[in-house]
Structure 1
Amino acid sequence: MPSHVKPSKKTVLVTGFGPFGIYKVNTSWEAVKELYKEGLGADWELVIYEIPVEYCTVKSIVPQLWEQHNPDLVVHVGVSGIASELTLEQKAFNYGYERKDVNNCLPEANCCVHGADESITAGIQMNVVCADINNSDSKIKAVVSHDAGRYLCDFSYFTSLHINKHRTAFIHVPPMDQPYTVQELAEGLKVAITAMLKQIEEKLEMVEGNSK
């Protein structure tokens, strides 16, 4: 499915997932589309993309999106039936993918990236992002998780972390209206992404300052 782009300066890529299982309408993609309507502000180009719940597609599409857009930040968004807040994932795992995708397929050797580390921890500090969300005026509340579930969410997260762990994040959203509306979820995503971009920019300024 073609990506949608809003022209601006720096690039944030946000993905949601297509339908699977009981989720005939995937809340993650609905929230991402709502975020796109709102935008991130004049300084940021927002690119969104819907990813099918397919291992082979994730393995091909995610690296292509990185190469095509050279994003300053990639945020994958997925739905979780056990979540009741925005759930900020801190790490992803390379092995243990034993749940079949929508095409009844599994990745080779139940592995995401052959030869890569068993797990990767994101360079973005999700506890800081979580505090920023919970201290904001947003109705949305957030928690931090260290296990994204060994399905396509975890699989896409590891794929991107393996490309650049300092510019990658994953957020699980609860199902629609349990308890948040799509509009509220989009607002929460915007607050989270703004907090992530603040971290990235601060680290960049620190690096530039040390190089002078």
Structure 2
Amino acid sequence: MTVLLTGFAPFGGSATNPSWRAAGLVAGRRDDVVAVELPVEFGASLPALRAAIEAHGPDLVVCAGEAGGRDEVTPERVAINVVDARIPDNAGRQPVDVPVVAGGPAAYFTTLPVKAAVAAIQARGVPAAVSYTAGTYVCNQVFYGLMHLLATDFPALRGGFVHVPSAPEQVACGEPALAVEESATALEAVIDAALTTSEDLHVAAGTLN
């Protein structure tokens, strides 16, 4: 089995991105994981993702990104077909109200077992929860683009997206954060859950708002 695990380059003025640092840690200790850094650029992220899939021929794709303000690792359940950028990307582009894929479905659900993944993360002592919004920035673009690729060009693959919190050194004291090592532990738990679970857990993990 080969797992493609992606993280993002730094963006928004930050010097680091915990999603890429965590992905690198995971790849450094597992022979079945290949880590690839994706650019935080609307015009380049999906071509880079496709190129990585074609180059490595994975059996599973897990994309990770940073979610500032969250204090849990959050496997994402649904990607939506819209880009509405609050800030410019690293190439200076700021698209507003455009689809990720013109004519594509309104949304895609992940094919990762997100509830089993959350349970696996929590079992390793890392806080986690299912998320129902991946935002409308490059993270959601990559998540939706990944699921569209799997639906159209790579139907044998499974994949999805996981958000990790900012690293402690990125935020002011008291703001939500998680050590990169813990984020790496969580990503490993997601991978293991996906490789060993064919049917997700049937447990409540919804939200009221």
Query: For this structure pair, what is the TM-score category when the shorter chain's length is used for normalisation?
Result: 0.7 to 0.9
Give the Å deviation of 1:101: 1.1
CA contact (8 A) 1:140 1:180 kept: no
Which whole-Å CA distance do the structure 2 matches of 1:171 and 1:18 have between them? 15
Which whole-Å CA distance do the structure 2 matches of 1:67 and 1:170 have between them? 19
SS of the aligned residue for 2:84 comes to: coil
Q: Deviations over 1:70-110 (max 9, x none)?
A: 21111111111121011110010111433331112145962
Give the Å deviation of 1:152: 0.7
CA contact (8 A) 2:110 2:147 kept: yes
The amino acid that maps onto 1:29 is W
Q: How does 1:42-191 map to 2 (within 5 A)?
A: 45-99=32-86, 100-106=88-94, 110-134=98-122, 136=123, 138-164=124-150, 167-177=158-168, 178-191=176-189
Deviates more, 1:76-85 or 1:165-174: 165-174
The Cα RMSD (Å) is 1.9
Q: Number of matched residues?
A: 186
Which whole-Å CA distance do the structure 2 matches of 1:174 and 1:190 have between them? 15
CA contact (8 A) 1:15 1:50 kept: yes
Which whole-Å CA distance do the structure 1 matches of 2:131 and 2:69 have between them? 12
The structure with the greater share of residues assigned to helix is 1
5+ residue gaps, structure 2: 152-156, 169-175, 200-209
SS of the aligned residue for 1:189 comes to: helix
SS of the aligned residue for 1:146 comes to: coil
Give the Å deviation of 1:179: 4.2
Identity between Structure 1 and Structure 2 (%): 32
TM-score, scaled to structure 1: 0.81
Which whole-Å CA distance do the structure 1 matches of 2:178 and 2:95 have between them? 33
Which whole-Å CA distance do the structure 2 matches of 1:182 and 1:133 have between them? 14
1:13 aligns with 2:4: yes
Which whole-Å CA distance do the structure 2 matches of 1:127 and 1:45 have between them? 23
CA contact (8 A) 2:6 2:35 kept: yes
The amino acid that maps onto 1:20 is F
Q: Deviations over 1:160-207 (max 9, x none)?
A: 1111266111111111135432222211111111001112xx36xxxx
Which whole-Å CA distance do the structure 1 matches of 2:95 and 2:69 have between them? 25
TM-score, scaled to structure 2: 0.82
Which whole-Å CA distance do the structure 2 matches of 1:125 and 1:80 have between them? 20
Match for residue 5 of structure 1? none
5+ residue gaps, structure 1: 1-9, 204-212
Match for residue 20 of structure 2? 29
